[in-house]
Structure 1
């Protein structure tokens, strides 16, 4: 039987071997939620880049450029990683270039994986169904906050473990921890997420609506994957 592992922060990634695994990158507040929503709303592709400078290098070539640091849109960019910047009216038929504090970092350090999938509560069931079809080991990478563990990404990892543990061996203690946390929170995710440090950061920025939106479960059915350095809708 294939196995499932949880990595609670990219800082721990050197301890793991990603070969032979499908990596699910998780950044609930807000990068992977926004990416999933944008791909579902018809964006042709989203190019994840590591730095603001690299993002700027795409300027003037017909791309939409987004940059976020510390929860805020970087000066000079039209958008960051709020899901409300990824509506169909704004992104359909377009290619976006995006850099964020945590999510795009996690994507970029996962490049040795067989495949990279973008996960969020918005597409939880679709991601789980996709993973079962791939029939490979699963590696759930929580983006965390600046390489530190966070609750929201761990909760999502626990939700995936809970859905798939009958089909995959959950071999690591972090999988058990993540599932136990999810089981404690699942009856009211919105209430539990009030405990998270990042939700407090976003509230101070006046964007509580982003938090609420990112906790919608199974709002969409698309599964974004990485193909040749670009995030696209899986076939």
Structure 2
């Protein structure tokens, strides 16, 4: 299969994604939140582009008697009136079990919504990388790893996460990698200590300055969650792929 990497949401060309499987990555922190929330019992996650749309969706669900919670950030800071920030550590089973999470973030939920022309959209991060790769091994479509990036720009953290997954994919089979996919694999292969590689990244240091070191530690852990979220393109919701 062919494997490619897109370096930020601003670089997504929607037609290019047609008939391909996409893995959206925003390891710091939106996709780590989605994976964690679903692993801890959330009914589904709804990725929203704007704060206004998020509040509207919550009202719609409330009228239907569906319990929901608002989560997300703007510039890594909690949104006023939301229940949670974008910290995966807040999404505990006690708080979110069987509830719908309405999530709106600066980068990750935007990348997801821009990927809807893909044949299949999976949600990936360091924490579920091996589960994603095991699923990808059993398909025929070309794969595009979409890095959400930071405010439209390249992000070292998402790039090395792509490299980690590509490296895992290539351990058992050789695939046709684009130049940027080869580079991502090379970066990971030579920097398997992820924290040491991304500690000078701008977004990493923004989170560190906000005293979010525990989030950073969690999001950099490799393959600790054994689920793969998938986007239902018709409803624009995210749930766990049934095993």
Q: TM-score range by the shorter chain?
A: over 0.9
Shift of 1:53: 0.6
Cα deviation code 1:49-88 (max 9, x no counterpart): 1001100112341211113100011111121210112121
Cα deviation code 1:135-186 (max 9, x no counterpart): 2211100000011001000001111111113535233111011111111210
Give the aligned partner of residue 54 of structure 1: 53
The answer to whether residue 227 in structure 2 is matched with residue 222 in structure 1 is yes
C-alpha distance in 2 between matches for 1:167 and 1:135: 13
Greater displacement, 20-29 / 176-185: 176-185
Match among 59, 83, 86 for residue 78 of structure 1? 83
Task: Report the TM-score, using the length of structure 1 for normalisation.
Answer: 0.95
Contact 1:4 1:169 in 2 (8 A): yes
Shift of 1:16: 6.2
Contact 1:55 1:67 in 2 (8 A): no
C-alpha distance in 2 between matches for 1:66 and 1:174: 33
Give the aligned partner of residue 176 of structure 1: 182
Task: Report the TM-score, using the length of structure 2 for normalisation.
Answer: 0.92
Indicate the SS of the match to 1:195. coil
Indicate the SS of the match to 2:17. coil
C-alpha distance in 1 between matches for 2:68 and 2:139: 32
Match among 149, 158, 166 for residue 161 of structure 1? 166
**Equivalent pairs, count:** 233
C-alpha distance in 1 between matches for 2:36 and 2:8: 23
Instruction: Within 5 Å, give how 1:66-145 maps onto structure 2.
Output: 66-145=71-150
C-alpha distance in 1 between matches for 2:113 and 2:14: 17
Greater displacement, 166-175 / 194-203: 166-175
Give the 3 Å change call, closer, same or farther, for CA 189–45 of structure 1 in structure 2: same
Question: Tell me, which stretches of 5 or more residues in structure 1 are unaligned?
Answer: none
C-alpha distance in 1 between matches for 2:139 and 2:219: 26
The answer to whether residue 30 in structure 2 is matched with residue 31 in structure 1 is yes
Moved >3 Å (runs of 4+): none
Give the 3 Å change call, closer, same or farther, for CA 168–97 of structure 1 in structure 2: farther
